[in-house]
Copies of this chain bind each other. A is one copy, B any other.
Amino acid sequence: MIIVMEPKATESQIQAVVSYLETNGFKAVLNRGDIMTVIAAIGDRKLFQPNAVASYEGVREVKLISEPYKLASREGQPDDTVIEFENGVKIGGKNRPQMMVGPCCVEKELDGLLRVADAAKECGCNFLRGGAFKPRTSPYDFQGYEEKGLEYLKIASERTGMLVVTEVMDTLDLPLICEYADILQIGARNMQNFKLLKAAGQTGKPVMIKNGPAATIREFLLAAEYILSTGNPKVILCERGVKGFDSTYTRNTLDVAAIPVIKRYSHLPVIIDPSHGTGRRYLVEPLAKAGLVVGANGVMMEVHHDPDRASSDGAQSLTIEQFKQTMKRLNHLMDIMEEESI
């Protein structure tokens, strides 16, 4: 960490900072320039309280150098994390990207879900997604079928052999959801629900976190760090867009560049969600491709047997037919990417 003193800082102000740092276990290295003094604090980032230092008299700015995440960082672990499931399916690293496919929300009729699952299986997808507990902006919107929804996911999973990804919204629901889910999803609005992150980590299950609508990449990786710090290494990140100033044509601004950025700074698998990330059906396929060519380890897509009558997010869901056409082209793109380096 670097502490930049004001040009007019007095010697006693400088010494006060040095003394604070040394008391707290840091080595303070002074850099006296013609204009100002800069102090480098060498030591354990975890013990450093930037705000405490910033409030000393004569301090102009405190700059962090090393990233505050350790376990999520590629410096600590140069090799890609690969998560392997009991059925041999793997996500992360150089493995072929995984598709997570299904309706935004599991509906009252089982049949529609089974039709989606059958189509997904047929197209080679290994993960079935579907919300049983749904976070909704308005209390009057449909909140999900809860346990009934989980049971349906189980039926579809047993029928097709697909793995289940579903969202958990509250620590109280964890034991129930763990009976059904292969991956616990933490939604964007809970990215900084730290109690939930820790509790989900402690289950030992793979956890997929979506970035919050105004989360920085650093905050996103720190959310992952909450899970990793419970001793659970199975964390997947999902880019689902951030809030922009233009919501006329898309629901969110999908930050495609975040994928190669995260892959540079972290070893964790990253997938892309063009359905929530754009909110528009016609944008799902192009943005899925964009995610794949920049290195995403997977794509999450909403597919519904009858999107016009979906209880949530119909406008961004593909029909089964559109999905099959899309998968044909995505599979082809993945084939090419496997064979040669494009």
Interfacial residues, chain A to chain B (CB-CB below 8 A)? 2, 4, 7, 20, 27, 29, 31, 33-36, 38, 40, 42, 45-46, 49, 51-52, 54-56, 60-61, 63, 65-66, 68-69, 75, 135-140, 143, 169-173, 189-190, 192-196, 198, 212-214, 216-219, 222, 225-226, 229, 242-250, 253-257, 259-261, 264-265, 277-278, 281-283, 286-287, 289-291, 293-295, 307-317, 329, 332-333, 336, 340-342
Contacts and interface: CB of A to CB of B under 8 A. Distances in A.
A308 B192 contact: no
Nearest to A189: B192
16 contacts: A55-B315, A139-B194, A170-B195, A173-B195, A213-B214, A214-B214, A214-B245, A216-B248, A217-B249, A242-B246, A243-B245, A244-B244, A249-B261, A249-B265, A261-B283, A332-B340
A135 B212 CA distance: 15
Contact of A294 (B42, B61, B289): B289
Contacts of A246: 216-218, 242
Q: So how many copies of this chain end up in the complex?
A: 4
A136 B34 contact: no
A51 B315 contact: yes
In this complex, the member of A75, A250, A256 whose beta carbon has the largest number of chain B beta carbons within 10 angstroms is A256
Q: Closest 8 A-B residue pairs measured CB to CB? A: A214-B214, A189-B192, A170-B195, A290-B290, A46-B140, A216-B246, A286-B294, A51-B315
